[in-house]
Structure 1
Amino acid sequence: MAAFLVTHRRALLNSRSLVTRVRWGSTDSKDKYRIVVVGAGSGGLSVANQIYNRFRAAGTPLNKDDIAIIDAAEHHFYQPGWTLVGAGLKQKSETRRPLVSLIPDHLVHIPENVKSFSPSSASVTTESGRSISYESLIIATGMKINWENIPGLPKALADPSSGVSSIYSYATCDKVWSDIDALRSGKAIFTQPAGVIKCAGAPQKIMWMAYDRYQKTGRGDQISIDFYTGMPTMFSVKKYSDELEKLRIARGVGGFFQHNLVSIDSRNHKATFKKPDGSTADAEYTLLHVSPPMGPLDVVKNSSLADEAGWVSVDKMTMRHTKPEYGNVWAIGDCSSLPTSKTAAAITAQAPILTENLFSVITTGKVADANYDGYTSCPLLTGYGQLMLAEFKYGLEPKESLANYFGDQSTPRRFARRIFYHLKKDLFPWAYWNYHIKGTWFGSHGWLRPKFPSSTP
């Protein structure tokens, strides 16, 4: 923690003033860039900085105005931290920083959102009507949370006494802890939707933390916990799913599979779920934690760059667009069609590979021997001081980076569970703010940029 505070203080002292940065970004009038990155989230900031660093390392540095990042957001969020907020381990203010304070001098910040993509003319149009051209485009827009798809949910979340909360937004993650800590008796229900969501393990992470909280405070006998999920199992990877199912049974947590939340009646504390046969089931609750349905952003979904499901259609190995005529378009993270879990850990593996391939295409005309194997990770909290570190790749095949040191990560020994827990709680947030978004953190590779067969220095 001391190291984090020192590093954080140094970063603040070395940064330019927010006033200067806003003035510089908003007055930029250049309309063509070598590389345009749409989205300044976990993927966008990381890959933009890695690309700049990659050209510099090769002795062919880019100019300071060659890379533009387009995003109108006022703040940047460390979204994995919202589970920690919901568990009472962090304040939500620790998960948010002004976006302009995170964009370095070598990136041009255009504080707008993209309204449409025009890949045939290699340009994007912003919501103000400004047309921005590019030589290479990286889409890192993230995904959309569809709160309104569950009738009654927005109203329930806005009501401080509803007992309904969610870790999936900055506005509501602290309400999760408030509701969990205040509950003295009754039924607590935790939901997970069918389909693709951010960090598919998060819906049960917060459930396990609530369970452990109730056990440690002597409320376990007064509170029943049920897990309602639209998925057929506890987790997509069988190895981890089997262990989580054992944990669920051992802890007496009810499991209702292929039950998809479709509406909430907060006045009567009733949730309605749809089953595979089309029938519905009602459940009464005292506390309801909702993981809402999610999907691609409309700006991506409605573009010619999207696949049938609405994601940016990219090659799963190179992250380059699947259409040859759009070979100067790339995508990273949640907005992409990459068939792997959508997590920040996945981005740490994707960013150096996209960077290497784009660098190679620009400098040699062809992609490098840099292939993404689908690596992603879910640091799955199972209680205070304990965590199952799920790591896997394409094909839902485990790819555990620490098993040689700590043994099987699906059934970690007590000391390993504690170490994994502090990775999630302390190391990962520190690394994210100080290194990941600056392009100098490479996930399981730490601070060492991965090497590829055809890489130049």
Structure 2
Amino acid sequence: MTAVSNKLHLISKMCLRSMSTSGKSDHSCKLLVLGGGAGGCSAAAKFVNKLGKGKVIILDPAEVHYYQPMFTLIGGGVKQLPESFRPMSNVLPKNAMWIKDSVAKILPNQNCVKTNSGLQISYEYLVVALGIELHFEKVKGLQEALTDPMSGVSSNYSPMYAERTFENLSRLKQGNAVFTLPNTPIKCAGAPIKACFISEHFIQKAGHRKNVNFFYRTSLPVFYSVKVYADELQKLADQRGINVATSHELIEVNHHNHEAKFLNIKEPQNVETIEFSMLHAVPPMFPPVVLAQSSPDLVDHTGYLRVNKATLRHDNFPNIFGIGDCTNLPTSKTAAAVAGQIGILYRNLANAMEGKDVSLKYDGYTACPLVTGYGSCIMAEFDYDLQPLETFSFIDQSKEHLSMYVMKK
């Protein structure tokens, strides 16, 4: 990790040199974008081209931008962590102002945002793209286990721990490998499945498969939300000897005893304990707390930004739009979903700025390349109704294909 730390330090210096950040003064803009992830970067880039220099402000404290879909491949040893990030200053559009700060409060009735450093930014229009937050501490013992590099515990969901997945895999010669999915909405619900299948293939290729048992435990009532893909995944799991159980929530990790405890959601009196040699744990995830703390009118009952699922416009504030993981859109939280949303958001927000009807509709399109091993992938694409919405009509996308793996890679 030393090389990575040195690169992050260098990036920090580059950020300070290569892109102007603001001092302690107030700002105003035509469009304020909260968040520099996939959704925020995309929205800012499109509107800088439309509105011109000085009209768009991006608020994000991060020095680096991670391409998070690569984390699964890092965990499988296919990619290296330094390949997954770039300086934030290299990713954000140059003609936008980047304020390197965090959101302290959104004041939608006053059309302004306050930052942690005390700045106040006024806007005419606001795009909220704050993502979703990881909460490892919500599972008893998990954070402690992750601080011990020899615990056998990892998570592809954080750049701090993704490399450890492959380190643990490389040491695994016998015992139980356990993979989890929590009882909350998460980024890319297919990623835990990918981690399991890739790991199983690695152990198979390493010649240790007969000595390693694989367990997949998901809090969901189904293996995967879309039946046509779930059926194929279950068939593959059966063929490869992966023990799958639904409605099982990870509630405790004891890395000293190498035990993971799971609550049976349907039968809460039953708790399953599995001894592990390797545990890939996905943390519970929640919307940024600043949304609900700013105004109850901003969020739904779960704390996610409430937007119209078709237009992406806020239900209560017509000059606010949302994109990506922080919204209450009833679709899978993936980079592909953001790609499907950005065109609708751009045209609807542009129409709003011009006093036109906001009528274009997002159909919930999302995609998840379900990597099932080194060289195989099921390309899941679907809509709000969990019906396939596939791109490649000349192949059966519910089956494994090398071409889909190459596309993912």
Same fold (TM over 0.5): yes
Other-structure match for 2:139: 150
Q: Which runs of 4+ in 1 moved over 6 A?
A: none
CA distance in 2, matches of 1:270, 1:229: 17
CA distance in 2, matches of 1:174, 1:202: 15
The reply on whether 1:345 has 2:336 as its aligned counterpart is yes
How many pairs were matched up? 393
The reply on whether 1:329 has 2:325 as its aligned counterpart is no
Other-structure match for 2:47: 51
The reply on whether 1:66 has 2:55 as its aligned counterpart is yes
Give the TM-score normalised by structure 2. 0.94
Other-structure match for 2:246: 257
Other-structure match for 2:407: 423
Other-structure match for 2:187: 198
Q: Secondary structure at the match of 1:234?
A: coil
* Correspondence for 2:294 among 297, 303, 312: 303
Q: Secondary structure at the match of 2:188?
A: coil
Conserved? CA contact 1:47–1:352, under 8 Å:
no
Correspondence 1:436-455 to 2 at 5 A = none
State the 1:105 CA deviation: 2.2
CA distance in 1, matches of 2:373, 2:262: 27
The reply on whether 1:395 has 2:385 as its aligned counterpart is yes
Other-structure match for 2:362: 372
Give the TM-score normalised by structure 1. 0.84
Amino acid at match of 2:302: A
Amino acid at match of 2:190: G
Conserved? CA contact 1:275–1:281, under 8 Å:
yes
The reply on whether 1:25 has 2:21 as its aligned counterpart is yes
Correspondence 1:55-454 to 2 at 5 A = 55=50, 62-276=51-265, 277-279=267-269, 280-304=271-295, 305-323=298-316, 326-367=317-358, 369-402=359-392, 404-405=393-394, 407-412=395-400, 417-425=401-409
The reply on whether 1:37 has 2:51 as its aligned counterpart is no
State the 1:18 CA deviation: 4.3
Stretches of structure 2 that go unaligned for 5 or more consecutive residues are: 1-13
CA distance in 1, matches of 2:282, 2:128: 25
Q: Secondary structure at the match of 1:271?
A: strand
CA distance in 2, matches of 1:195, 1:105: 36
Amino acid at match of 2:310: M
Conserved? CA contact 1:203–1:291, under 8 Å:
yes
Conserved? CA contact 1:28–1:110, under 8 Å:
no
Identity of aligned residues (%): 40
Q: Secondary structure at the match of 2:307?
A: coil
CA distance in 2, matches of 1:274, 1:173: 25
Q: Secondary structure at the match of 2:301?
A: coil
Q: Secondary structure at the match of 2:371?
A: strand
**RMSD of the TM alignment (CA)?**
1.4
State the 1:25 CA deviation: 1.7
CA distance in 1, matches of 2:59, 2:156: 27
Conserved? CA contact 2:44–2:92, under 8 Å:
no
CA distance in 2, matches of 1:30, 1:63: 20
State the 1:27 CA deviation: 4.1
Q: Secondary structure at the match of 2:21?
A: helix
Deviations 1:425-447 (A, max 9, x none): 1xxxxxxxxxxxxxxxxxxxxxx
